[in-house]
Structure 1
Amino acid sequence: MRIALAQIASTPDVAHNLGLIADGVARAAAAGAELVVFPEGAMCCFGVPLGPVAEPLDGPWATRVRALAADAGVTVVAGMFTPADGDRVHNTLLATGGGVEARYDKIHLFDAFGFAESRTVAPGTTPVSIAVGGVTVGLATCYDLRFPGLFQKLAGDGASVIAVPASWGDGPGKREQWDLLVRARALDSTSFVAACGQADPWTIGRDPRGAPAGIGASAVAGPLGAFVGQLDTAPDLLVVDLDLDEVAAARKTVPVLVNRRF
């Protein structure tokens, strides 16, 4: 299975960000990828009011992404914001194209490191997987990386690949934690973990003003925890071939999903 991680640097301009997605989809399709993963907040960066940005899944933003995926013949997973009850929104992953149409609302909200995502975002409740070319792909978002139970749930439900769009905030030790958590969740679930982060906004000259805007370092880790590929901090495209036989072999050698008791 060939996948691509499209590491972009989203801005507050939704139309501009759609252009970044169009470019990433085209480049991934040209490289032969079946699945292209964009970051959390691909629709719009954090640090601006999200209520006015949020759109339903039949709104113009999702409709355009859906058309891009259909035209290119690929499955796209990209972060957006959808309306929720009251004044909050959902931090939503749109998965579309290649016979896929699904949403995942972020379950674990980033109330950490002095940030309170739950003030403006309502949590999801349900783990979600999709099927891409017969391969089950689980969906998770950013802070979900700190919760191994979700990854083992997705793997136990059949996922051999888990896509993780993110907008990983910078700070002391955060890059080390990102690398560690991506690899650890792959080990926990004996799955490929494809974690696509927002590029560092400073690489495009944008000051994130304290918002969790991304550090780059998008990576794919194999089912025994080794990195298969990783990007630097700037916008870029990572294309990786996944040998899914490695998942079966890892689960036979280290059967944590069978042996777990909690």
Structure 2
Amino acid sequence: MRIVIGQFAVARSWEDNLARCLDLVEKARARGAGMLVLPEGVLARDPQDPDHVLSTAQSETGPFMTALLHASKALAIVFCVNVPDGAGRFFNTLYCLRDGEITVRYRKLHLYDAFSMQESRLIAPGNSLPPVYDFGGVRCGFLTCYDVRFPEIARHLAVSGAEVLIVPAAWLRGPGKERHWEVMLAARALENTCYVIGAGECGSQNIGHSMVIDPLGTVIAAAGIEETALEVDIDLGRVARAKAVLPVLANRRFADPVLSGSEPR
């Protein structure tokens, strides 16, 4: 499966962002992709007004989602948007759309209350584990941004069969943050012998640096700080070879980090 990562700077207007997403959809189709992965929070953003993400949140039946559902024929589109929770905050929700349907819905578990930020002021946390979904024989698991700092969630997805981890993000700038991003993505790939696809927002607030890590922890594709469409072909043979030479999942002596049917606290 070919995956295209659409890296761009999210604007204040949801209409402008929708146009950018639809343009990336066409670029992904032209490159023969089966999946387009977009960053976190693609609905709207204003670095000068943190509450803008709350005031612009839309429901699943809103015009932003409706347009992307219509555009998802024969193409999986992965992205995160803000959905009102009905109690004054919103859920940072990851969606995968395909053939006009919502195939994956995941509310971000880990809120970024770190480095002087407090996402929990505006965002309500999810309480369900992210899914593993089969896209034409490629099993994909999903995390959102800060989730990647918590290895137990990636390990849960790996032992549930994920061969590719998809990570939409809006990774904030700061001292050493580019290094944190690369190290976390590479660690999650290497310790689970799976691909990791990190789709980052660029612009004045976030680092960009979308990248693809192979199952042995090597960066095989990477973007800089500019808007771009980055593509990679997923080779399941590469996953099988990594598991054969580095059987960490088979060799582990601890129980699964999350038992089947349990929920986060």
Q: Residue 245 in 1 paired to residue 248 in 2? A: no
Q: Residue 127 in 1 paired to residue 130 in 2? A: yes
Q: Residue 20 in 1 paired to residue 12 in 2? A: no
Q: Residue 91 in 1 paired to residue 65 in 2? A: no
Conservation of the 8 A alpha-carbon contact between 1:231 and 1:238: yes
Matched residue, 1:226:
218
Matched residue, 2:7:
7
Structure 2 SS opposite 1:79: strand
Number of matched pairs: 249
1:18-41 CA distance string (max 9 Å, x none): 011001110011001101100001
Aligned partner letter, 2:56: V
1:79-126 CA distance string (max 9 Å, x none): 101111411110011110147622111111101000000111011122
Q: Distance in 2 between matches of 1:42 and 1:241?
A: 24
Matches within 5 A, 1:1-262: 1-45=1-45, 47-70=50-73, 73-98=74-99, 101-125=103-127, 126-199=129-202, 201-202=203-204, 213-260=205-252, 261-262=254-255
CA shift for structure 1 position 224: 0.5
CA shift for structure 1 position 130: 2.1
Q: Which runs of 4+ in 1 moved over 4 A?
A: none
Q: Which runs of 5+ in 2 are unaligned?
A: 256-265
Conservation of the 8 A alpha-carbon contact between 2:193 and 2:215: yes
Conservation of the 8 A alpha-carbon contact between 1:12 and 1:48: no
Conservation of the 8 A alpha-carbon contact between 2:79 and 2:94: yes
Q: Distance in 1 between matches of 2:38 and 2:14?
A: 14
Q: Distance in 1 between matches of 2:191 and 2:30?
A: 33
Conservation of the 8 A alpha-carbon contact between 2:43 and 2:57: no
Normalising by the residue count of structure 2, what TM-score does the alignment of the two structures yield?
A: 0.90
Q: Distance in 1 between matches of 2:155 and 2:84?
A: 29
Conservation of the 8 A alpha-carbon contact between 1:130 and 1:138: yes
Structure 1 SS opposite 2:88: coil
Structure 1 window deviating more from structure 2 (43-52 vs 219-228): it is 43-52
Structure 2 SS opposite 1:233: coil
CA shift for structure 1 position 6: 0.3
Q: CA RMSD in A?
A: 1.4
Normalising by the residue count of structure 1, what TM-score does the alignment of the two structures yield?
A: 0.91
Q: Distance in 1 between matches of 2:54 and 2:176?
A: 31
Structure 1 SS opposite 2:83: strand
Identity among equivalent positions (%) equals 38
Aligned partner letter, 2:51: V
Q: Distance in 2 between matches of 1:96 and 1:48?
A: 27
Q: Which runs of 5+ in 1 are unaligned?
A: 203-212
Aligned partner letter, 1:51: L
Aligned partner letter, 2:182: D
